[in-house]
Amino acid sequence: MNVLVVGSGGREHALCWSISASPLVDSLYCAPGNGGIGSIANRVDISPTDIDGLIGFCRSEAIDFVVVGPEQPLVDGLVDRLSDVGIKAFGPSARAAALEGSKGFTKDLCAKYDIPTGAYGRFTDAGAAKAYVYASGAPIVVKADGLAAGKGVTVAQNVDEALAAIDEAFAGRFGSAGSEVVVEEFLHGEEASFFAIVDGRSALPLASAQDHKAVGDGDTGPNTGGMGAYSPAPVVTEELHGKIMSRIIEPTVTAMTAEGCPYTGVLYAGIMIVDGEPLLLEYNARFGDPECQVLMPRLKSDIMPVLLAAADGVLDQVDLRWCEDVALTVVLATHGYPGDYSKGSVIRNVNSAQELPDVTIFHAGTDIQDGNLVATGGRVLNITALGSSVREAQERAYEAVDVIDWPEGFCRSDIGWRAISRES
Ligand code: AMP
Ligand code: GLY
């Protein structure tokens, strides 16, 4: 079968890596891919948001199955358009992707179907949003309703910060994504990511993971797309796993069907664990990045039958086997990220690092130029290692990081610290 993966990040490299190992795949393409993906898939120079371009390519190359990585094309209706022309895809329809595309939609769904989450209000004018903030006090969280490339959330420590965030959103900082805001109760606890594959009717849990959003050691500094991750997340005990499935994931799948927009694809729940109980922070309609880079190396089963079963609505016919090992990934980023950074610096010794035992390197913002591997983005490489404990996986990952010669790059030195403190 001919398969197209849409996207260009570390997540898509990890997906291509798993998919390329499947005997079901004849030809694998990735649009647009990156400098690492080119060695396992045919790169196609089409943007993930160019829906007409992607459809045209699928028709001309007889693509049988499309796996969509990022959220924007899902919210824009790529899966619906593919389905209209008879091409099977893994990912939700535009209406179902509203779980990520509209925070207000998700909060209303939680309220209607009794799914545990923080108290909230939805507002289309600044005055009413501010009145809610005054009435609630701080800390409080202000969120642009729509997709804002991970920048639409302000955790305000005081009322003034919350008011400023409301003004910014309504002044157009996030474009139309901020024309509505959700103001939400601040939840104090520990965060974890939980992933399930859904086929419209039922949900197959994947594994838990934790990522490190802040740019600096000790979880300090501005938030990023994620500076590292590990799976499983020891904080998600068997009991908590059961509660997340029965109180959050399964009721959401049922609710989406009842609302007339059954959900298919990966359901990624951002969970806050408060006094041992899981509350939903947000949904994403896709794999996490860098969480996908620690899920794929732990997956022992062929991923393709699972993705196909989700698209076909027969997930009950497959099961998944995971290796017991822990996977941990360290993100190498260009100096300056998440602010401004330069492009085009040369990265050396990636192949030597990759040869270390139990190490896999997933590329993100890289390209091959004049035979050199160069950095083209903020997050650039994901150095991933397996180990029998988080500590062992961490040691192996950082050994590989040390082999890489890239003066223009940096990474956090403490990925996994929370889980390691639980191990000792
Ligand atoms: P989101 O994009 O909704 O996941 O928000 C980004 C980050 O903001 C989350 O990963 C949390 O760290 C934080 N956050 C979001 N909502 C809340 C909340 N209600 N209480 C506390 N922190 C939150
Ligand atoms: N790692 C966070 C995200 O993918 O949204």
Fold of 2-91: Rossmann fold (3.40.50)
pLDDT(348) > 80:
yes
**For ligand 2, atom 4: residue with the closest CA:** 288
Mean pLDDT of the region 247-253:
98
Which pair of structure tokens corresponds to residue 224? 């990023």
pLDDT > 70: percent of the chain: 100
pLDDT(422) > 90:
no
Read off the pLDDT of residues 192-204 as tens digits, 9 standing for 90 and up.
999 999 999 999 9
Read off the pLDDT of residues 138-193 as tens digits, 9 standing for 90 and up.
999 999 999 988 788 999 999 999 999 999 998 878 878 878 899 999 999 999 99
* Helix/strand/coil for 384: strand
Ligand 2 neighbours by CB, cut-off 6 Å: 211, 226, 284, 288-289, 291
For 235, the enclosing helix (H) or strand (E) is: none
User: Which numbered atom of ligand 2 lies nearest the CA of 284?
Assistant: 5
pLDDT of residue 423: 81
pLDDT of residue 175: 78
Ligand 2 centroid to 290 CA: how many Å?
A: 7
pLDDT of residue 252: 98
Identify each DSSP E strand in 217-357 by its residue range: 220-223, 228-231, 264-274, 277-284, 326-334, 346-347
Ligand 1 centroid to 287 CA: how many Å?
A: 17
Computed over every residue of the chain, the mean pLDDT equals: 95
Distance (Å) of CA 159 to CA 132, 163, 174, 363: 11, 6, 21, 41
Top-level class of domain 326-423: alpha beta
Q: How far apart are the first and last CA of the chain?
A: 47
pLDDT of residue 208: 86
Read off the pLDDT of residues 385-398 as tens digits, 9 standing for 90 and up.
999 999 999 999 99
Confidence of residue 299 (pLDDT cuts 50, 70, 90): very high
pLDDT of residue 149: 80
Which pair of structure tokens corresponds to residue 298? 């732990």
Fold of 190-317: D-amino Acid Aminotransferase; Chain A, domain 1 (3.30.470)
pTM for this structure?
0.96
**For ligand 1, atom 13: residue with the closest CA:** 155
Q: Please name which ligand lies nearest the alpha carbon of 224.
A: 2
Q: Do domains 190-317 and 326-423 have the same CATH topology?
A: no
User: Which numbered atom of ligand 1 lies nearest the CA of 143?
Assistant: 3
Q: Please name which ligand lies nearest the alpha carbon of 138.
A: 1
CATH superfamily label, 125-179: ATP-grasp fold, A domain (3.30.1490.20)
If one residue of 71, 100, 212, 289 were mutated to test the ligand 2 pocket, choosing by the most ligand atoms within 8 A of its CB, it would be 289
Q: Is the CB of 139 under 6 A from ligand 1?
A: no
Mean pLDDT of the region 398-420:
97
pLDDT of residue 250: 98
Taking the domains of the chain in order of start, what are their residue ranges? 2-91, 125-179, 190-317, 326-423
pLDDT of residue 207: 85
> 91-100, 166-175, 275-284, 305-314 — which is least confidently predicted?
166-175
pLDDT(226) > 90:
yes
Angle in degrees, 0-180, between the axes of helices 103-113 and 250-258, rounded to the nearest 10: 100
**For ligand 1, atom 12: residue with the closest CA:** 191
Read off the pLDDT of residues 203-221 as tens digits, 9 standing for 90 and up.
999 988 999 999 999 999 9
Q: In angstroms, rounded to a whole number, what is the distance separating the alpha carbons of residues 351 and 371?
A: 14
Q: Please name which ligand lies nearest the alpha carbon of 219.
A: 1
pLDDT of residue 176: 81
pLDDT of residue 148: 86
If one residue of 194, 291, 412 were mutated to test the ligand 2 pocket, choosing by the most ligand atoms within 8 A of its CB, it would be 291
User: Which numbered atom of ligand 1 lies nearest the CA of 188?
Assistant: 21
Read off the pLDDT of residues 90-126 as tens digits, 9 standing for 90 and up.
999 999 999 999 999 999 999 999 999 999 999 999 9
